[in-house]
Amino acid sequence: MKSNNAFVEYEEDYQTSCPEIFELNIVSGGCHLYGYLLVPDKRISGPYPTIIMSHGFPGYTTNNDLELAFMRMGCVVIHMNHRGAWGSEGNYLFTNLKEDLIAIAKWAHNAAIADQYGIDVNNIFLVGHSMGGQTVLNAAKDLGFIRGVVAMAAYDIGAAFRYKMEKDLFLMIETEGQCLKMTSASEVYENALVNQQELSVLNRYEELIHKNVLLVEASYDTIAPPDKMLKPLATKLAEAGGNIQYESIASNHSFIGQRMKLTNIVGRWIEEVYSPTHCVS
């Protein structure tokens, strides 16, 4: 895997080695989650480090550019839509997000699935943006086999209540969440209110101390202000001697004008943390 290949393509595809995309259907909580899986060009030898992406709320800011860049680097990339989002079954609730991601990660870690797609089960990474950043951090606490976790402009529901941002949270659910399947905005908000401590990235932060963690803030972020939602976790992990790297990009919540810089930061970190699994014949 080479991070400097993130923006480099082969001059031409070979019919026998083309990168591939597969549709996915994974069950979580009795509901079918829909998405896709990218496999790199077979001129890059496997097994491949694998990145599982977690989208934000509701997912208007896509990370397809990152996904394709990671594929060019030589990674398998899994993109799944959470319950109630973008065609996946069930209703959207914040407490479902971690459960969904754990189900996806365990699916990818299964030996038969890993063999089918060339997944290196010793090098599975979780990468999430915004609410997806909260999700990957919380899921990583319950997944011992995860190689590393990347949270970009992570939202923290616990901090939203701690810093009296409840009205902003409800407005986000009511307006941006109109594309999601939900009983009501009030139910989703109540789910956040009742479970705010469990959902907070600071909850059980000790379980991240011995994991590889990359946190990337958007310094102009007004949706998930880093001083309130990302830096407190970074401070706790650093003080505890955690394997943490913290990066700041001068951009807004979506990193919309700095996507290549974001790709380079995350790509280089994954390359540094990656530990190749050597197959023995």
Alpha-carbon span 180 to 70, nearest angstrom: 28
Are 72 and 9 a contacting pair, CB within 8 Å?
A: yes
Alpha-carbon span 24 to 159, nearest angstrom: 34
Is there a cis peptide before residue 226, judged by omega within 30 degrees of 0? no
Of the candidates 78, 29, 18, 27, the residue with the CA atom closest to the CA atom of residue 50: 78
Cα 236 to Cα 106, 139, 159, 216, 281: the distances in Å are: 28, 18, 15, 16, 44
Give the pLDDT of residue 279: 47
Are 232 and 162 a contacting pair, CB within 8 Å?
A: no
pLDDT higher than threshold 90 for residue 29: yes
- What CATH class does 3-273 carry? alpha beta
Question: What digits encode the pLDDT tens for the residues 159-210?
Answer: 999 999 999 999 999 999 889 999 999 999 999 999 999 999 999 999 999 9
Give the pLDDT of residue 4: 87
Q: What is the mean pLDDT of the segment spanning 59-66?
A: 87
pLDDT confidence tier of residue 280, bands split at 50, 70 and 90: very low
Give the pLDDT of residue 278: 52
pLDDT higher than threshold 60 for residue 281: no
**Which residues share a beta bridge with 126?**
52, 149
Question: What digits encode the pLDDT tens for the residues 76-94?
Answer: 999 999 999 998 999 999 9
Please give the sequence-ordered ranges of beta strands (E in DSSP) within the chain, or none if there are none: 20-28, 31-39, 48-54, 76-80, 119-129, 146-152, 212-218, 243-249
- 3-state secondary structure at position 168: helix
Alpha-carbon span 224 to 205, nearest angstrom: 19
Are 140 and 102 a contacting pair, CB within 8 Å?
A: no
How would DSSP label each residue in 188-234? Answer: HHHHHHHTHHHHSTTTTGGGGTTSEEEEEEETT-SSS-HHHHTHHHH
pLDDT higher than threshold 80 for residue 277: no
- 3-state secondary structure at position 32: strand
Q: Which residues of 258-274 are buried (b: 16+ CB within 10 A; e: fewer)?
A: bbeebbbbbbbbbbebb
Q: What is the mean pLDDT of the segment spanning 29-38?
A: 97
Least confident stretch, 57-71, 110-124, 131-145, 208-222: 57-71
pLDDT higher than threshold 80 for residue 229: yes
Percent of the chain residues past pLDDT 70, beyond the cut: 99
Residue ranges covered by each domain of the chain: 3-273
Q: Which residue shows structure tokens 């972020």? A: 221
